[in-house]
Amino acid sequence: MRTPLSPQLEEDGTYRPSSLALRVATQKVTDYDGQVYGNAYQGDAKVLMICTEEKAMTMANGKQFSTGNHPVEMLVPMLHLRAAGFDIEVATPTGAPARIEMWAMPREDQAVMALFTEFKNQFENPRPLTDFVATSMNDTSAYAAVYLPGGHGAMLGLPDNVDVGKILHWAHGRDLHTLSLCHGPAALLAANLPEASTSESDEGFLYDGYAMAVFPDAVDKQTPLIGYMPGHMPWKFGERLTALGVNIINKKSNGTTHIDRRLITGDGPQAANAFGRLAAESLLQQLSTS
Catalytic residues: 182
Distance CA 70, CA 58 (A): 17
Cα→Cα distances 108→30, 112, 114, Å: 9, 9, 11
| Closest to 157 (Cα-Cα) out of 240, 221, 242, 99 | 99
Cα–Cα nearest to 102, from 32, 163, 11, 172 = 11
6: helix, coil or strand?
Answer: coil
Cα–Cα distance measured from residue 241 to residue 248, given in angstroms and rounded to the nearest whole number: 8
DSSP state of 88: E
